[in-house]
Amino acid sequence: MEEVYSLFATKDQVLITIDPDPDAIGAALAFKRLLWHKVQSVTIGMIRPIRRLNNITMVRLLKLPLVLLEKKQTKQFDKYVIVDGQPSHNAFFSQFSYSVVIDHHPVNSSVESPFVDIRPEYGSTSTILTEYLKAAKIKPSQTLSTSLLYGIKTDTRNFERHTILDDIESFRYLFPLANHNVLRKIEISDLSLQDLKFFHRAVERKHIIKDRIFSHLEKVPSADILVVIAEFFLKIHDISWSIISGIYENSLIIVIRNDGFRKDAGKIVRQAFGDIGCAGGHEAMARAEIPMDKLKDVIQEPTSPNIERFIHKALFPFS
């Protein structure tokens, strides 16, 4: 902390640049807190708008002070900081000369800065910044704790991937300080009002064969909505397979979820669609993408009922 503080002067106007995912946002807020009363101002600048609805919800509910940077940055700052990223990660970042770089991504090109702390073994940069706050003897506010906790949770996918003990220790420290009602609302906020009509369509057009539910949604605005609906239908207790399809950018997309017990969704989509499109996945989740002109080779008339029949027969030829 002494080394960090020695790089800043009280007259400094500081810019922290981030690619705004939850980990970067949490880490940037923590760094801003570290500099509180130490410098004249700290701006957290995003290099792109936030797209994920969960993250938009977080910024709105917690009233986070984030600023969208313009491609041609006119305002000059005295010092630049980057968290959860490195200058070489994109052209926007690389235009600045950074005093501080704190990150957990692997180092792929040398980083030149007076203060570099890159720990690729860490699950999140929010973990690293939680340790900085502890070192500075700063107890994070509820808003900051909630942001850091969400940063750790998203980057480690709730500790399902690259997690070390330090991530769990920071999580344990932040847990009683965070607002869990807000956190829950953030975590479930992945739908927009427009998505509801696809739920409506999916429910109307569903059909069930044994423990499998199928629904073909025709044209969809993104493949993500197919994933959300496939996961939603798997909530039905006696459904073991959820197979949701739609047409996106001139391809038929098929999203599959199952209960994960003695099933291999990845294998069956590769067998069913591997020769006409791109297909793959794991035991419990899989996906296939078939260009419409390839589809016309196997279905003469690609109407919705024909597409559904084709999907069912290709996936489950013996029933």
* Contact residues for Mn ion, defined by CB under 5 A: 23, 84, 125, 155
What distance lies between CA 186 and its chain's CA centroid?
Answer: 12
Question: What minimum distance in Å lies between the beta carbon of 85 and Mn ion?
Answer: 8
In the bound state with Mn ion, the residue whose beta carbon lies nearer, of 84 and 289, is: 84
- Nearest residue to Mn ion, scored by beta-carbon proximity: 23
In the bound state with Mn ion, the residue whose beta carbon lies nearer, of 117 and 155, is: 155
Question: What minimum distance in Å lies between the beta carbon of 45 and Mn ion?
Answer: 17
Question: What minimum distance in Å lies between the beta carbon of 125 and Mn ion?
Answer: 5
Q: Is the backbone of residue 242 left (phi > 0), alpha (psi -120 to 50) or beta?
A: beta
In the bound state with Mn ion, the residue whose beta carbon lies nearer, of 84 and 195, is: 84
Q: Residue 268 and residue 270: Cα distance in Å, rounded?
A: 5
Question: What minimum distance in Å lies between the beta carbon of 84 and Mn ion?
Answer: 4
Report angle CA 166, 161, 1 to the nearest 5 degrees.
30
In the bound state with Mn ion, the residue whose beta carbon lies nearer, of 143 and 154, is: 154
In the bound state with Mn ion, the residue whose beta carbon lies nearer, of 86 and 145, is: 86
Report yes or no: 298 and 317 within 8 Å, Cβ to Cβ: no
In the bound state with Mn ion, the residue whose beta carbon lies nearer, of 125 and 143, is: 125
Question: What minimum distance in Å lies between the beta carbon of 27 and Mn ion?
Answer: 8
What distance lies between CA 128 and its chain's CA centroid?
Answer: 19
Q: Residue 257 and residue 110: Cα distance in Å, rounded?
A: 42
Report yes or no: 229 and 247 within 8 Å, Cβ to Cβ: no
Would you state the structure tokens that stand for residue 18, as one six-digit string?
Answer: 């981030």
Question: What minimum distance in Å lies between the beta carbon of 175 and Mn ion?
Answer: 19
Q: Residue 127 and residue 99: Cα distance in Å, rounded?
A: 20
